Amino acid sequence: MAAPSNKKSHNRKSKDRPKFNKASKKPFKANKKDSNDCVKAQAMALQLEEDVPDFPRGGGSSLSQKERDGILAEVDAEFEVEERILKKVKKKGKKPQNLNHSREEDFGSLFSDGLTGKLPRFANRITLKNISPGMKLWGVISEINEKDLVISLPGGLRGLVRSKDSLDPILDNEIEENGDRLPFIFHVGQLVSCIVLQLEDDKKDNGKRKIWLSLRLSLLHKGFSIDTVQEGMVLAAYVKSIEDHGYMLHFGLHSFVGFLPKNSQAEGRDAEVKPGQLLQALVRRIDKTRKVVYLSSDSDSVSKCVVKDLKGISIDLLFPGMMVNARVQSTLENGVMLSFLTYFTGTVDIFHLQNTFPTSNWTDDYPKNKKVNARILFIDPSTRAVGLTLNQHLVHNNAPPLHVKVGDIYDSAKVVRVEGRFGLLLEIPSVPVSIPAYVSMSDVAEDEVHKLEKKFKEGSRVRVRILGSRLLEGLATGILKASAFEGPVFTHSDVKPGMIVRAKIIAVDNFGAIVQFPGGLKALCPLRHMSEFDIVKPRKKFKVKS
């Protein structure tokens, strides 16, 4: 988009342009004349942002001259007050404090066009509170059911994909004859890019929400065209049909198609390629006249491909799983901030660092301006937040291995890092290689622990039981509570028909009671099995926590 001809608008544009590694080079000096000009420019920028549409034409303002003069007068008065305070503080020999503390102190301009102002304190994490429709995420398939897929997402979240949202409708006719299509197209452990469709309150479990996702490329590739595709890019595509010399590929768009020659088929070997199959391929050549993209799906080439700096690339063209050359901008309290593709910044969570077992001095491994290869983990177009991963398995385009099962007990897990307010990072001595496990603060002990540093030391050994896993991070979750090791039942596989166990009632309803075993496993006791006699009102006879 061409820059507006209006001079003030031009100044604002040049001010907002990303300026990497240039913050805080010169100390602030109060200058009466320059400061007034700066304030007026800021006021005009504020006015344009709040009252003018996203794409103003002609640079005009909707405020009257009288209203503009009023705004400038207020800003000038505020600036003069701050200037007098700064002079007083300077005379006393004290460092000036930030008088305008706001959210920008914590997040800086992470969610804007570049790095200006203060850096954020924390790396972005996807949670149930901040996930929203439209977010693009990288995940790994953990379950394949008859009607849906279960996707392991960043941050240990769990998403669901309905069968109808697993691929675009244009391919329905190609695979409907194969019946149960989900196991036919996908496999457990497969890395996939997805987009959030909606969040839904879980009726069975209060306080939890279901995350419904889509794998449709028509949504993920929205904004792509034959002109935005570049040689050397890696694109996701469906196999639409099998031809004599190769495979016709579908990108979810009608503006162009793809062709994969048989001599470069999936994984560079004689693997079976099926209609509807989702694969990744490297762009080798583009025929803009015929609107055909020629690709190769050699796994080695795909895993090593790095996106080049493209002129005019927008956040809509960023894709989960895309590998980029990045540079360390700064270390944060729980991760690293990186700059990439000239215009963008993103953060790496501490669970996605290069070292699987980061110790307490992990920041020493990330000096400023260090060059790294990273893959995009998630993109939030609404806030422009980007999450990245440095996990070596994911960087090589493979899901991290997890060599443990829920319920496994390890007597000598090593404490790698102690996070005083959050939990412990452990090294599990699994076979064939050790894996990391995290124990949250609430699962460390039966009694409340206020300071983990006093109870646990790095290098010490603890007894842990595996509670679950975060497949995308290759991270297990564990529990140290003594109650977790009591009783014969911890997982569903431990339950045998006819066995006698003790349990606690946690809910009573007209259909029966929900009970919980000491290990945390829940079970349903139907109404007819609650007593030898008919019970009309079970709540009167059975009490919660009994």
Of 365, 375, 380, 427, nearest to 397 by C-alpha is: 375
Given this model, what pLDDT does residue 203 score? 67
Given this model, what pLDDT does residue 245 score? 87
Whether 382 has a pLDDT exceeding 70, the answer reads yes
pLDDT bucket at 63, cuts 50 / 70 / 90: low
Please, where are the H alpha helices in 27-112?
32-51, 65-91, 103-107
Q: Long-range contacts for 411-414 (Cβ within 8 Å, ≥24 apart)?
A: 411/463, 412/461, 412/463, 413/437, 413/461, 413/462, 413/463, 413/464, 413/478, 414/459, 414/460, 414/461
CA dist 23 and 519 (Å) reads 52
The structural domains of the chain, ordered by start, are 7-100 (no CATH), 136-218 (2.40.50.140), 227-304 (2.40.50.140), 315-395 (2.40.50.140), 409-485 (2.40.50.140), 492-541 (no CATH)
First to last CA, the chain: 68
CA dist 110 and 118 (Å) reads 9
Given this model, what pLDDT does residue 339 score? 95
Under 8 Å between Cβ of 138 and 375? yes
Given this model, what pLDDT does residue 488 score? 80
Of 161, 163, 166, nearest to 151 by C-alpha is: 161
Give just the sign of the alpha carbon dihedral 73, 78, 81, 87.
negative
**Cα–Cα distance list, 428 to 21, 292, 301, 307, 418 (Å):** 40, 49, 33, 35, 15
Q: What is the pLDDT of residues 488-540, one digit of tens each?
A: 888 887 888 888 888 889 888 888 889 988 777 889 888 888 887 877 778 88
Considering the chain, what is the average pLDDT of its residues? 79
CA dist 134 and 18 (Å) reads 25
Helix (H) or strand (E) holding 455: helix 452-455
Of 376, 401, 378, 380, nearest to 390 by C-alpha is: 376
Give the mean model confidence (pLDDT) for residues 471-487: 90
Whether 12 has a pLDDT exceeding 50, the answer reads no
pLDDT bucket at 181, cuts 50 / 70 / 90: confident
Residues in the chain: 546
Question: Is the N-terminal amide bond of 432 cis, ω within 30° of 0?
Answer: yes
Under 8 Å between Cβ of 51 and 15? no
Burial bucket for residue 475 (CB in 10 Å: 0-12, 13-18, 19+): buried
Query: Per the structure block, which two tokens stand in for 382?
Result: 């609404």
Give the mean model confidence (pLDDT) for residues 139-151: 94
Q: What is the pLDDT of residues 67-107, one digit of tens each?
A: 556 656 655 655 555 555 555 544 445 444 443 433 333 33
Burial bucket for residue 16 (CB in 10 Å: 0-12, 13-18, 19+): middle
Given this model, what pLDDT does residue 414 score? 96
- Specify whether the backbone of 232 is left (phi greater than 0), alpha (psi in -120 to 50) or beta: left
Which pairing describes strands 191-201 and 136-144: parallel, antiparallel, or unpaired?
Answer: antiparallel
Give the mean model confidence (pLDDT) for residues 335-354: 94
Q: CB neighbours (10 Å) of residue 70?
A: 12
Strands (E), 163-290: 191-201, 209-214, 234-242, 246-250, 257-261, 278-287
Q: Which residues contact 426 (CB under 8 A, 6 or more apart)?
A: 413, 414, 415, 416, 436, 437, 438, 439, 462, 464, 478
Angle, CA of 168, 170 and 173, to the nearest 5°:
115
Q: Which residues contact 129 (CB under 8 A, 6 or more apart)?
A: none
What are residue 283's DSSP bridge partners? 295
Given this model, what pLDDT does residue 207 score? 65
Given this model, what pLDDT does residue 461 score? 95
Whether 3 has a pLDDT exceeding 70, the answer reads no
Which pairing describes strands 371-380 and 344-349: parallel, antiparallel, or unpaired?
Answer: unpaired
- Calculate helix-pair angle for 32-51, 7-16, nearest 10 degrees: 90
Given this model, what pLDDT does residue 73 score? 60
Whether 120 has a pLDDT exceeding 70, the answer reads yes
Candidate ranges 158-162, 301-305, 493-497, 522-526; pick with highest mean pLDDT: 158-162
CA dist 503 and 505 (Å) reads 7
Given this model, what pLDDT does residue 500 score? 86
Angle, CA of 494, 492 and 476, to the nearest 5°:
100
